[in-house]
Amino acid sequence: MAAKIRKGDKVIVITGRDKGVQGEVIRMIPTEDRAVVRGVNVRKKHKKPTAMAEGSVRQEEAPIHVSNLALVDPQTGGPTRVGFKVKEDGRKVRIAKKSGVEIDG
């Protein structure tokens, strides 16, 4: 089955601490149904000092469950569900349920 949300998609968080925040999907983890989204679910990661580098505290995005994400409709800019449509040439494409527009990718 084709994935509804893919790497590179623009998504919006629909529930949780970061509700309403939009970002781009950096990485998908399909075995866990999770996605890493730029600017969403940011955590502080403490790095221990080593002989080669000094210690530091850096921020990085943690995975978020895909059920908390919705694709951004290319026409309206709001959240939308994803549907599938088979074109005349046999290709299966994703469409935005709200506006019916074909989604890039």
Per-residue model confidence (pLDDT) at position 105:
61
* Residue pLDDT, tens place only, 22-60: 999 999 999 999 999 999 999 999 999 999 999 999 999
Output the pLDDT for position 1.
45
2.30.30.30, 2.60.120.620, 3.40.50.970, 2.40.160.50: which CATH number matches 10-96? 2.30.30.30
Give this prediction's pTM: 0.84
Asked whether the beta carbons of 12 and 20 are under 8 A apart, the reply is yes
**Domains of the chain: which residue ranges?**
10-96
Read off the pLDDT of each residue in 74-90 and give the average, rounded to a whole number: 93
Q: How far is CA 90 from CA 54, 55, 94, in A?
A: 55, 54, 13
pLDDT given for residue 104 in this prediction:
77
